[in-house]
Amino acid sequence: MDHVIPATMYPSSCDTFVALPPSTEGQHIVFGKNSDRPCDEVQEVVYFPARDYEAGEKVECTYIEIEQATHTYAVVLSRPAWLWGAEMGANEHQVCIGNEAVWGRESADDEEALLGMDLVRLGLERADTAERAVDVITALLEKYGQGGSCMEDESGFTYHNSFLISDRKEAWLLETSGKYWAAENVEDGYRNISNEYGITTKIDKEHPGMREYARSQGWWDGKTQFSFAQVYSFLTTARIEASGSRYCEGKNLLEKSNGHITADTMMDILRDKESGINMEGMFMTTGSMVSMIPKDPALPGVHYFTATPDPERSVFKPFIFVNGIKQLKLTCSPSYGLDDPVKKKPRFQSKPDRKHPLFIKHEVVAAIIETTKERGKKITENLRQLEKDKMAEMENILSNGVQDSTLVVNLFTNSVQEEMTVYSKS
């Protein structure tokens, strides 16, 4: 039976992008994502080092406990501060993943299972290539399912998930409906996703029962050419129309820079408010990420995160995987400290204060930018100059590598401190 939720319940939110040669400048893959979440939700940027585990150990995700892998890779994550998983992130092998909420013919389950955001983190912790991340996520999906509220204080807000996953050589689009899924390999050019199904007839991997299930539900006659998007999604809803518009706008913005897409290009796209990609309102862009991944395995990837709302008023700060990185305290929520997994609280009570130090400073200055034109303009110019200087430094590293890891082990934290200094002088 088709599951219908009023359009007012759907946030038209989130956009994820990837660009591969020849659409990019140089031999780089550029990944970007805006995380659009409730406007009062804090998003933190956190780091977890690689770890080994004993056979049989468990890991407690946002709602359920599952079997832990014997080894997890180092990850940097941008995540809503109340949960275990992540909206987006990268790992030490330069795999990047972002997820999107999608709704379709199949009811999204409110029974607590793995959130799509849990699957983002699990994919990053357990896969050293984009294709392996597809395999990890789909195996976990089939074993444990997806479900549970995706908002801290809203018990009925559930959705299915799509994922855009990239590494040094390619990207994969993975779309799910319950336990069923389809995946498409993207080897060149560019691709973007919003809150709608986008895989049509090019399906490179799939759940073995996906087509037969659709036929048994009367969604597909078993004869016409199979399109995952057409079969598994609603044909028309207000939410799909809104996300479809954003999808088209994002695709057009990528096309304008086709052949010359850089980190700057991706940041400009994520900052674009006219398209709706940089969202404002009850649901807004609460965190943003851009990654530059060289195809050359000898060179490091550079991952930029804002850790603050509205990329137009935020600084993209660089992170590079090296040994010895400590937890990123200035962008880590204080409500449960640095322990992992998350220390849960009774749900649907009053929210604790989850604002991290950078968020607190940013919130004050964002109000100044909004209300004081000349002063706000000067602050924004100073923030952009800081970002520009950092990106110039990173261009050298992207070309020549890290010569001394001690100089970049605190790169992200130092960049946050410099941003906070700009705020303090404002």
Q: Which range has the worst mean pLDDT, 2-11, 31-40, 87-96, 334-343? A: 2-11
* Phi–psi pair at 283, nearest 5 degrees: -110, 125
Taking only the tens place, the pLDDT of each residue in 262-320 is 999 999 999 999 999 999 999 999 999 999 999 999 999 999 999 999 999 999 999 99
* Assigned CATH topology for domain 13-364: Penicillin V Acylase; Chain A (3.60.60)
Buried b (16+ CB within 10 A) or exposed e, 226-264: bbbbbbbbeeebebbebbbebbebbeebbeebeeebbbb
Q: Which of 132, 153, 155, 88 has the alpha carbon at shortest distance from 291?
A: 88
Residue 110 — pLDDT band, cuts 50, 70, 90? confident
Domain ranges of the chain: 13-364
State the pLDDT confidence band at 244, using cuts at 50, 70 and 90. low
pLDDT in tens, 172-196: 999 999 999 999 999 999 999 998 8
Q: What is the mean pLDDT of residues 370-397?
A: 95
> Is there a catalytic annotation at residue 14?
yes
pLDDT grade, residue 19 (50/70/90)? very high
Residue 4 banded pLDDT, cuts 50, 70, 90: very low
Q: Of the listed 14, 61, 96, 150, which one is catalytic?
A: 14
Return the CA Rg of the chain.
Answer: 20
Q: How confident is the model at residue 245 (pLDDT cuts 50, 70, 90)?
A: confident
State how far the Cα of 379 lies from the Cα of 17, in Å rounded to an integer.
28
Handedness of CA 152, 179, 11, 362 (dihedral sign): positive
Answer yes or no: pTM beyond 0.85: yes
Instruction: Output helix, strand, coil percentages for the chain, rounded to the nearest 5.
Output: 30, 25, 45
Residue corresponding to tokens 């990654």: 291
Contact at 8 Å (CB) between 157 and 120?
no
Three-class HEC string of 265-289: HHHHHHCCCCCCCCCCCCEEEEEEE
pLDDT of residue 319: 98
